[in-house]
């Protein structure tokens, strides 16, 4: 009787696993779609408020710095005291920031609105990453890439929404997207219910598994050194990606004379490249290991990034998408590798790599804005590819946590 009862229970759990991952991916899509409207607004804000590139960079910094400051703190707290309904609360912060941005009539209010959206991101990502890993069934790279690709799709939707809605209708049109936040909050409430029930049911098993997961045999200093290398790898990737995400439309407008709307379509193509690369990175990482993916992702993008500033419009678009695909493949591999280095600290890892590393990218974006003001936007694209040389640090990472999951 017990055996027959357990079979339906197992089947139900398996079906729920992908339902939860896809629900998280959907909410990640809505969350990052709303967040992506901020950089998509940059050309409008720059014109309406006569902003410099430095001020545009500070908006990116305000958004990414709040996420950077809070995500590791949220992650550490929820590692000790998981908060199933914090996902819904984080989406609420994003909603408030979006509403404020739609009615902002001064630069300080724009900065505060961007900071609130960053706070929403800082609360959402650590716990969402934890739930995705909990529902992964051992396929951690695939689960993280599916979760992450929702965010990538949301980011890619931003330029299209800007081109068809925000640019024609203006800043106030952000108000239309508040419904997406409400939908996400309803879905995340249901995910919170599953999370709370699952955590209660599996708590004794999780305690046993935590001890076993720490069997990589690395000393604490070695682990910290490896984590520092991973952060530097993401720093190089994120600063270069920020140069494209924040300034790509300006580069296309200035160098090739494109309109704002047409430039948004090129940005959309770049962001779709990130989606494809993220999916491939998680899938390949589960099969061949995390380290090879990291090598290919960081250093493989370097030659294409070096060619980009010297290309015509067609090849600029092709090279930008190619760089996006190659670089994006690193993130699921880096995140899962870090989770294997720090078993039982899923929230802290997610906080550091979704938050702190992206905050470093925000600092880089602000510095790149200053560089663009001093020189030109083309100079930014000539200098930033050399950051990818930091990918050579991959050679110092320990091999064991990066092997395929079936060999661990």
The pTM assigned to this predicted structure is: 0.66
Position 204 pLDDT exceeds 60: no
Distance CA 57, CA 365 (A): 6
**N- to C-terminal Cα separation, the chain:** 35
Structural contact between residues 70 and 122, judged by C-beta atoms closer than 8 angstroms: yes
Question: Looking at residues 132-136, what average pLDDT do you find?
Answer: 82
**CA nearest 301: which of 265, 277, 285, 279?**
277
Using the 8-state DSSP alphabet, how is residue 106 labeled? S
Residue 314 vs residues 76, 266, 323, 328, 379: alpha-carbon distances, Å? 46, 10, 14, 21, 20
Question: Looking at residues 310-319, what average pLDDT do you find?
Answer: 92
Distance CA 404, CA 291 (A): 10
Residue 48 vs residues 59, 177, 255, 266: alpha-carbon distances, Å? 15, 21, 22, 23
CA 264 to centroid of chain Cα atoms:
20
The pLDDT of residue 357: 63
Q: What percent of the chain has pLDDT over 70?
A: 86
Q: Specify whether domain 2-407 bears CATH 3.30.470.20.
A: no
Which residues neighbour 296 within 8 Å (Cβ) at sequence distance 6 or greater? 326, 329
52-98 pLDDT tens trace: 888 888 888 888 777 777 788 888 888 888 788 888 988 998 888 88
Position 259 pLDDT exceeds 80: yes
333-377 pLDDT tens trace: 787 788 788 877 777 777 777 666 666 666 777 788 888 888 888
Mean pLDDT, the chain, whole residue set: 78
**CA nearest 192: which of 134, 142, 117, 137?**
134
Structural contact between residues 343 and 292, judged by C-beta atoms closer than 8 angstroms: no
The counts of H helices and E strands in the chain are 17, 0
What are the φ and ψ backbone dihedral angles of 312, each rounded to 5 degrees? -80, -175
Residue with tokens 């309803």: 186
- Angle, helices 42-49 vs 107-134, to 10°: value is 170
The pLDDT of residue 12: 43
| DSSP secondary structure, 55-80, as one string | HHHHHHHHHHHHHHHHHHHHHHHHHH
- Domain residue ranges of the chain, discontinuous segments joined by +: 2-407
Residue 10's pLDDT band, with cuts at 50, 70 and 90, is very low
**CA nearest 76: which of 360, 344, 331?**
344
The pLDDT of residue 358: 65
Distance CA 3, CA 16 (A): 20
* Helical spans, DSSP H, in 81-177: 86-102, 107-134, 140-161, 167-169
């Amino acid at each position: 009787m017990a055996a027959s009862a357990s079979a339906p229970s197992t089947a139900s759990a398996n079906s729920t696993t992908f339902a939860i991952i896809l629900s998280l991916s959907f909410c990640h899509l809505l969350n990052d779609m709303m967040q992506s409207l901020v950089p998509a607004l940059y050309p409008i804000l720059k014109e309406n408020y006569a902003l410099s590139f430095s001020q545009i960079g500070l908006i990116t910094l305000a958004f990414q710095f709040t996420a950077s400051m809070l995500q590791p703190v949220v992650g550490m707290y929820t590692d000790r005291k998981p908060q199933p309904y914090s996902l819904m609360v984080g989406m609420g912060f994003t909603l408030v920031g979006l509403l404020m941005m739609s009615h902002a009539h001064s630069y300080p209010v724009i900065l505060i609105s961007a900071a609130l959206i960053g706070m929403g991101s800082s609360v959402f990502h650590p716990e969402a990453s934890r739930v995705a890993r909990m529902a992964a069934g051992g396929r951690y790279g695939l689960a993280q890439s599916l979760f992450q690709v929702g965010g990538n799709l949301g980011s890619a939707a931003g330029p299209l929404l800007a081109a068809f809605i925000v640019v024609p209708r203006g800043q106030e049109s952000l108000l239309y997207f508040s419904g997406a936040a409400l939908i996400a909050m309803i879905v995340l409430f249901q995910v919170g219910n599953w999370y709370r029930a699952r955590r209660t049911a599996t708590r004794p098993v999780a305690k046993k598994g935590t001890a076993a997961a720490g069997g990589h045999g690395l000393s604490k200093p070695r682990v910290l050194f490896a984590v520092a290398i991973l952060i530097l790898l993401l720093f190089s990737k994120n600063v270069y990606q920020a140069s494209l995400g924040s300034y790509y439309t300006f580069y296309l407008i200035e160098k090739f004379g494109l309109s704002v709307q047409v430039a948004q379509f090129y940005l959309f193509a770049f962001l779709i490249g990130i989606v494809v690369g993220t999916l491939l990175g998680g899938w390949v990482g589960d099969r061949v290991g995390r380290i090879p993916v990291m090598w290919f992702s960081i250093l493989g993008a370097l030659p294409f990034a070096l060619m980009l500033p010297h290309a015509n419009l067609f090849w600029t678009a092709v090279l930008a998408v190619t760089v996006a695909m190659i670089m994006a493949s690193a993130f699921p591999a880096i995140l899962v590798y870090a989770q294997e280095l720090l078993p039982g600290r899923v929230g802290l890892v997610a906080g550091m790599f979704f938050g702190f590393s992206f905050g470093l990218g925000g600092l880089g974006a602000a510095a790149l804005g200053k560089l663009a003001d001093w020189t030109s936007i083309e100079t930014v694209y000539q200098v930033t590819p050399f950051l990818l040389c930091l990918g050579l640090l991959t050679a110092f990472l320990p091999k064991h946590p990066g092997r395929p999951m079936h060999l661990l």
